[in-house]
Structure 1
Amino acid sequence: MKDVFISLAIVLGKRDSLTMVESYAGFLKENYSDYEILLLATEDIPNISELLRYVDKIRFLQISNTSDYEILCAAALENAIGDITIIGRLENLTKDIIEQGVSTCFEGSDIVIGCTDISCPAWYRFGSRIFRTAVSRVINYNIPINDSGLRIVSRRAANTIISKNRFHRNLFLQMNHCGYTVKTLEYRCDKRLKKPHSLAKIYNHAVSILILNSTKPLRFMNVLGLFSSFISFLFALYSVVVHLFKRNVVEGWTTQILFTSIQFFFLFLILAFLGEYILRLLSNQNNTSSYNVVLEKHSSVMLDLSRLNVISESTASEVNLTQTGRDR
């Protein structure tokens, strides 16, 4: 049994079975000295009160104002109190990955990314590779393509992440950029995962990654605007020179239309990017929270009263290399 406090945070869906939660509670009780299970959902879950009556160390949080998975994971990270926090869904959680991930954290990796086989259409894979190649030139986008959405985070990494001003946005990318050691862990889920294929969600996620994490696209648009202005100046100079040195100039309506179309293309492209950055500024100035906890429930089961807060040895048999606030 590992001497560590584990927080298992599970984002519940509408059709998730609570029997799996009870199974994970038994697994944590057998393998770790302290644990809690944090359940998060965007609506009240049927039979949750019954589960809290006979299974101990469970907290249930009902979250409003969002259905975004990364924001729900951020809420889990902010409310968890364990030395190591495991964040996932029932569909991407297994007992093996919990055990392997905690062991990997003990070895010194503060953030563990779960990677598994994911089902997605060919157009999604093709577009994802193009996007990753392009974005990697702008920001350090290093999230694996087969990311399952499972994260295992040490306490010191969690403290660093939640200390950021807007850590709820693009949480997974901020985890990779927090400065601590990140490691990927391949595993097999009970069922093959599927990526969401909604074009609106894909577009919003892509724009959010590009706009919220770098000002380089805005700098590129500034350069593009200056280049367009320079081209306009050259064209104006060309028209004046032709008018001065050549008589009976043929009407250049084709060239004019082509040039005007190109200039308007650049103009509206620049305006679109400026609009996204203005939206970012307005969003950052908005004081509303990314999520709200509208309901919180706890297990009503009595804790183990026979357990004493006294130990016979001052040092643990297995050292956690990512622990915080203790002698190593």
Structure 2
Amino acid sequence: MINKEQNFASAIIYVHNAENRVESFLKTIIDVMETNFHHSEIICVNDASTDGSLVEIKKVSSLASCTSLSVINMSYFHGLEMAMNAGINLSIGDFVFEFDNTCLDFEPKIIMDIYQRALEGYDIVSASARRKEKATSRLFYKAFERYTDLSYKMSTESFRVLSRRVLNRVDSMNKTIPYRKIVYASCGLKTDNIKYNVVNQHGCSQDSKEKSYRISLAIDSLILFTEVGYSFAKAMTILMMCMSIAMVSYSIFIYITAHPVAGWTTTILFLSVAFFGLFGILTIVIKYLQIMIDLIFKRKQYTFENIEKLTK
């Protein structure tokens, strides 16, 4: 007989047009929760699915005997991040499992593996498939590593478990969370990642709306959480300033050595100096915008990994 965990566990599942796989996925989660936890809840976030996903969820709900099962039906398509935030706000568990999709490409035991790892002192434990990452994903994570000061190594994650301490700290750090993974990585608590072998990939594709959303999210996250925008603007400013200086030198050289059309030299000088100043001003403005983003979205307070009491 399995000794059930006393901690209250919440499982938040993102659902969008997944009628062909949500039934098997939800059955697996229900089985894991009821087998391993005395008290648990499952929250399905139905992000404006246009297929039969909600019908499938309701059909499976009768299988949950000890686990509370709820569905949040979003008013319109919000995308993964906003939808999962709704589920997190409703959850009450000591530990919260986040399933960003309903792709059951892992053995169910992996769910408890990451939970047991969390009990060893890790507040965030994620699970990632052992598969070759897409080129776009590798480029995205390399940009994050290059233009942020996070020591956390970003990778594609299938699901994760969070302690309540993580959620409390993230909530105190920032009420607006446009990209949860980055906020979790910057909260300062201990993290770990477990790799698993892929067992099934059938029916794990995303629809066009979800793919478009994730591309937009990646671009927005690079702008909000990294120095990519400012670095690009600074590089372009230096380039244009160098070109302006070159044009000033060229116009003076032509004025001295040749006989340019009347007004040509002054026009070129004016445009060169004007562009030099314009790009200088734009750099300052972009820097101010970067500071505002830092204060709003990347607002940092002191963070600590843990506290050790050395004396009684």
Cα 1:20/1:225, change in 2 over 3 Å: closer
Query: What does the per-residue CA deviation read over 1:21-75, in whole Å, with 9 as the maximum and x for residues that have no partner?
Result: 2443233222222111111112470154454456241111112343422333322
Structure 1 counterpart of 2:118: 105
Q: 1:95 aligns with which of 108, 117, 120?
A: 108
Q: 1:247 aligns with which of 258, 268, 281?
A: 258
- Alignment map for 1:223-302 (pairs within 5 Å): 224-225=236-237, 228-244=240-256, 246-247=257-258
The CA RMSD over aligned residues, in Å, is 4.0
Runs of at least 5 residues in structure 2 that lack an aligned partner in the other structure: 298-304, 307-312
Structure 1 counterpart of 2:9: 6
**CA–CA separation in structure 2 for the residues paired with 1:130 and 1:17:** 31
**CA–CA separation in structure 2 for the residues paired with 1:18 and 1:223:** 51
**CA–CA separation in structure 1 for the residues paired with 2:24 and 2:222:** 40
Structure 1 counterpart of 2:309: none
> Per-residue deviation at 1:202?
5.9
Q: Identify the structure with the greater helix proportion.
A: 2
- Alignment map for 1:178-257 (pairs within 5 Å): 178-192=187-201, 200-201=212-213, 203-215=215-227, 217-218=229-230, 220-222=232-234, 224-225=236-237, 228-244=240-256, 246-247=257-258
Q: 2:74 aligns with which of 60, 63, 80?
A: 63
Query: What does the per-residue CA deviation read over 1:82-112, in whole Å, with 9 as the maximum and x for residues that have no partner?
Result: 1111111331464211110110110011111
Query: What does the per-residue CA deviation read over 1:119-153, in whole Å, with 9 as the maximum and x for residues that have no partner?
Result: 66xxx42x4434433442211465544x2331111
**CA–CA separation in structure 1 for the residues paired with 2:149 and 2:205:** 22
Letter of the 1:173 partner, please give it. Answer: I
Structure having greater relative contact order (Cα 8 Å, sep ≥ 6): 1
Cα 1:21/1:81, change in 2 over 3 Å: same
**CA–CA separation in structure 2 for the residues paired with 1:162 and 1:32:** 26
Matched, 1:139 2:152: no
Structure 1 counterpart of 2:301: none
**CA–CA separation in structure 1 for the residues paired with 2:225 and 2:218:** 11
- Alignment map for 1:113-192 (pairs within 5 Å): 113-118=126-131, 124-125=134-135, 127-140=136-149, 142=152, 144-145=154-155, 147-192=156-201
Structure 2 counterpart of 1:306: none
Moved more, 210-219 or 165-174: 210-219
- Asked if the contact 1:109/1:183 (under 8 Å) is kept, the reply is yes
> Per-residue deviation at 1:211?
0.8
> Per-residue deviation at 1:158?
1.3
What is the TM-score of this pair, normalised by structure 2?
0.68
> Per-residue deviation at 1:234?
3.9
Percent of matched pairs sharing the same residue: 17
For this pair of structures, how many residues does the alignment match?
264
Structure 1 counterpart of 2:302: none
- Asked if the contact 1:38/1:76 (under 8 Å) is kept, the reply is yes
Q: Identify the structure with the greater strand proportion.
A: 1
Cα 1:131/1:195, change in 2 over 3 Å: farther
